[in-house]
């Protein structure tokens, strides 16, 4: 993992109000590669040269992205029975636990470790979202992918049922760093940690129904995670086109969008883009906040009413900013509470959630 910061167990307030997302799994299952590709824009081919993680590494995903949380990358050989491993402290403040399984390897040992990890975590914190990434599926045929997912799903849930823990819910995703499946899976993990998600989805539903839009995504521009979409089903090809559009907009803006002296930012409130596809569909991107973009799919005949779409977008953007203002007030009040708790020497309990 390079020179990632080593975890400091002595500071229980280090996470403040940010939720933790834990990346766990056996060695060489692809945990660090996932993190590098999604949040550091590393080329998937470059991940072949990453060294194996040998210590717990923590990283804040907030400095350059609107999505605020911490990712803790765990070495595959972590021992829950080691007295120096304070798993209660770690699981107590966790929002989501992602367990990565290498689909191209014998996954019986991984399933045993998954069961141990989930049961330990659930005893400490019943509010954790348990997410299973069936990873490296790019090397499998479509039939093999489905069969592998079915087998892992069946075995993992059978193990929980045998232990009398049927109420634990596991979510399964087929992922690969060589396509957009890892970004979509991470999007769904992060969305579960956003308490304002129903509000955002409702705003998107109102926007598209009044604008003649087929589909709309609210994207975090830096990571290409979509933090919300409308209630219509998500098509993988549609999502991939949106990701590609964001890449094109940012790349061109970096070349032509800066001033002659290099001042300014490539993505700002003036950022907008229109791409017409050869199937009578228009892709329309508009800046919502410093880190968020709205990407829409519109039919050409509907896009002729661009003035109506822009007016509705203005109303949508204003509503989103109001949601964010509430978020900032909550963040400030929680930071004050944390400082007061720290002075008293208390330890925060419960699972912090992403604040939007």
Task: Count the alpha carbons within 13 Å of 189 in the hemisphere toward its beta carbon.
Answer: 33
Rg of the chain, C-alpha, whole Å: 21
Tell me, what's the pLDDT at 293?
A: 93
End-to-end, the C-alpha distance of the chain in Å comes to 29
What mean pLDDT comes out for the span 301-312?
94
Tokens of 334: 């929680």
Query: In the beta sheet, which residues pair with residue 23?
Result: 73, 98
Quote the tokens at residue 329: 């007030």
Per-residue pLDDT tens digits for 139-159: 899 999 999 999 999 999 999
Q: Highest-confidence range of 70-79, 86-95, 200-209, 343-352, by mean pLDDT?
A: 200-209
Q: State pTM to two decimals.
A: 0.83
**Which one, of 229, 137, 182, 178, lies nearest residue 48 by Cα?**
178
User: Which letter, b or e, does each residue of 31-44 get, where b requires 16 or more Cβ atoms within 10 Å of its Cβ?
Assistant: bbbbbbbbbeebee
pLDDT of the residue at 304: 93
Decide: residue 12, CB within 10 A, 0-12 exposed, 13-18 middle, 19+ buried: middle
Single out the residue of 135, 55, 144 nearest to residue 100, CA to CA.
135
Task: Give the residue among 7, 130, 11, 25 at the shortest CA–CA distance from 70.
Answer: 7
The 3-class secondary structure across 169-197, one letter per residue, is CEEEEECCCCCCHHHHHHHHHHHCCCCCH
pLDDT of residue 6: 43
The partner residues of 213 in beta bridges, in order of sequence, read 298
pLDDT of residue 17: 52
Q: How far apart are CA 355 and CA 353, in angstroms?
A: 6
- Of residues 319 and 59, more confidence is placed in 319
- Per-residue confidence (pLDDT) for residue 81, from 0 to 100: 65
Query: Residue 11 above 60 pLDDT?
Result: no
Distance CA 258, CA 266 (A): 6
Burial degree of 265 (CB within 10 A; 0-12, 13-18, 19+):
exposed
Under a CB-based contact definition with an 8 Å cutoff, are residues 97 and 25 in contact? no
Residue with tokens 């909550």: 330
How high does pLDDT run on average in the chain? 85
| 176 contacts: CB under 8 Å, gap ≥ 6 | 135, 136, 137, 138, 182
DSSP string over 35-85: HHHHHH---GGGGGGPPPP-S-EEEEE-SS-S--EEEEEPPTT--TT-TT-
Alpha carbons 126 and 122: distance in angstroms, whole number: 5
Average of per-residue pLDDT across 83-95: 84
For residue 188, name the pLDDT band (cuts at 50, 70, 90). Answer: very high
Provide the pLDDT for residue 57.
83
Alpha-carbon span 180 to 22, nearest angstrom: 21
């Amino acid at each position: 993992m390079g020179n990632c910061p080593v975890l400091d167990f002595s500071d229980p307030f280090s996470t403040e109000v940010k939720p933790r997302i834990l990346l766990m799994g056996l060695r060489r299952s692809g945990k660090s590669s996932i993190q590098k590709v999604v949040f550091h824009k590393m080329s998937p081919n470059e991940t072949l040269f990453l060294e194996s993680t040998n210590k717990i590494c923590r990283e804040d995903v907030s400095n350059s992205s609107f999505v605020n949380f911490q990712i803790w990358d765990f070495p595959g050989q972590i021992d829950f029975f080691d007295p120096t491993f304070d798993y209660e402290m770690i699981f107590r403040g966790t929002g989501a636990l992602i367990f990565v399984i290498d689909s191209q390897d014998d996954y019986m040992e991984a399933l045993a470790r998954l069961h141990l990890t989930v049961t330990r975590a659930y005893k400490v914190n019943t509010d954790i979202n348990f997410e299973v990434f069936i990873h490296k599926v790019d090397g499998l045929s479509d039939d093999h992918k489905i069969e592998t997912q079915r087998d892992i799903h069946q075995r993992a849930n059978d193990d929980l049922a045998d232990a009398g823990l049927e109420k634990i819910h596991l979510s399964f995703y087929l992922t690969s760093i060589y396509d957009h499946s890892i970004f979509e899976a991470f999007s769904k993990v992060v969305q579960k940690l956003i308490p304002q998600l129903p509000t955002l989805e409702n705003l998107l539903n109102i926007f598209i129904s009044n604008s003649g839009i087929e589909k709309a995504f609210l994207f975090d521009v830096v990571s290409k995670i979509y933090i919300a979409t409308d209630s219509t089903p998500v098509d993988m090809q549609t999502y991939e086109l949106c990701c590609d559009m964001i890449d094109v907009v940012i790349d061109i803006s970096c070349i032509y969008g800066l001033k002659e002296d290099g001042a300014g930012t490539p993505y700002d409130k003036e950022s907008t883009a229109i791409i017409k596809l050869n199937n009578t569909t228009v892709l329309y991107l508009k800046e919502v906040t410093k880190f968020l973009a709205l990407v829409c799919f519109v039919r050409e005949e509907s896009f002729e009413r661009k003035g109506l779409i822009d007016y509705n977008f203005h109303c949508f953007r204003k509503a989103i900013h109001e949601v964010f203002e509430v978020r900032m007030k909550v963040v400030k009040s929680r930071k004050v509470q944390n400082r007061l708790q720290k002075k008293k020497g208390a330890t925060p309990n419960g699972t912090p959630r992403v604040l939007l």
